Amino acid sequence: MNFEHMVADYGKDIGEWLKTFNIFNIIVPIIIAYVLCRIIPLIINWIVKRAMRVRRSASRTERLEGEKRAKTLADLFSAIIKFLIVITVTFDILTKLGINLQPLIASAGLAGVAIGFGAQSLVKDSLAGFFIIFENQYRVDDVIRVSGTGFPAEPVEGTVRSITLRKTTLRDRDGNVHIIPNGSIVEVTNRTLGFSKFRFTFAVDVETDVDGVIDVVNTVGDAMAKDKNWGKQIVDAPHYDELGKMGKEGINVTVSGTTLPGAQWKVSAEYRRRLVSELQKSDITVADVEG
C-alpha cells in the first residue's frame, strides 16, 4: 500500500469517526467534574466540622484546636477526592474518544514495576505524611520549626499553609515559601499546639526595689488580661516568673505568660510596650546584665 492509499484510509476512518462523534460527550463530563471539584470541598468541610464539633462548654483553646484539625483533614480529603474525580473523568473521555485503554493500563503496570525502586522516596513521603496527620503532630495554621535530612544548617520555621501526604508547605516570617517532603522531616517543634507561652528577661538597677518591680510586672499583666480585646487571647496573664543573674550593674527579672496558640508574639510585644511605659512612670531604670 502506497502513501496515498494510507492517507486516504486514515482520512476515511477519521471521517467515519466524526460522523458518530458527539462533542457533548466530552463537554458534559468536564462540566460535571468542574462543578463537583467546586462543591465537594464545601460538602467535606461541612461534614468534617460537624463530625469534629466541640462541645459548647469547650474552652477557647479547645475550639481553636478543633478548627485547625478540621481544616487540615478537610483539605486532605478534598484533595484526594478531586484527584479521583479528575482521573475518572479523564478515563471516561478517553473511552468515548475510542481510545483502547487496556494496552495503556497494561503498559502502565509494567512501567510501575520498572520504576517501583525509584519511587521509594514517594512512598516514604506519603507514609510520613499519613502519620503526621493521623498523630496530629501539626495542622494548617500551626507555627512549626522543622529539621531533618537534606535541610540547611539552620532549621526551617514558618506557618503551615498546607499538608498533603507527600509534602508540607510553610511560609516564614519573611514571606518565603518552603516546600518540604514529609519523608525528610526528622524533628518538629510545634509552637502553637494546645497553647503558646512567651518568656523574656529584662534587668533593673541593683539598687531598685525588687518588690516594686514585681508589683509593676504583675499589675501590667493583670490589666492586659482584663482588656476586652487582648484578654481574649490571654490564657494566663503575663507575670513575674523568677529572678535571674545578679551582678554589679543590675538584676535580671524574668516574665512569662500563656496565650492562645499563635498569639504569643503579638501579646508579648504589646505587654512589653505597656511594661516599659509603667516602668518609666515608676522611675525604675532598666539596666544591662550579661547572660
Structural domain contains residue 129: no
Position 238 pLDDT exceeds 90? yes
Average pLDDT, the chain: 81
Residues 104 and 16 in one domain: yes
Cα gap 160→137, rounded to integer Å: 12
The per-residue pLDDT for 152 is: 66
Structural domain contains residue 122: no
Residues 93 and 12 in one domain: yes
Residues 147 and 71 in one domain: no
Range of the domain at 109: 3-115
Position 196 pLDDT exceeds 80? yes
Residues 180 and 212 in one domain: no
The per-residue pLDDT for 239 is: 94
Q: Where are the alpha helices (DSSP H) in the chain?
A: 3-20, 24-51, 60-96, 101-115, 120-134, 210-226, 264-281
Structural domain contains residue 47: yes
Tally of CB atoms within 10 A around 275: 22
Predicted confidence (pLDDT) per residue in 156-171, tens digit? 999 999 898 889 999 9
Position 203 pLDDT exceeds 60? yes
Structural domain contains residue 269: yes
The x, y and z cell numbers of residue 87, run together, are 482521573
Residues 73 and 91 in one domain: yes
Residue with the larger pLDDT of the pair 54 and 44: 44
CATH number, domain with residue 266? 3.30.70.100
Residues 239 and 143 in one domain: no
Predicted confidence (pLDDT) per residue in 219-231, tens digit? 999 999 999 999 9
**Of 261, 30, 45, nearest in space to 139 by CA:** 261
> Model's pTM, two decimal places?
0.66
Cα gap 62→54, rounded to integer Å: 8
Tally of CB atoms within 10 A around 216: 19
Give me the number of domains the chain comprises. Answer: 3
Residue with the larger pLDDT of the pair 38 and 65: 38
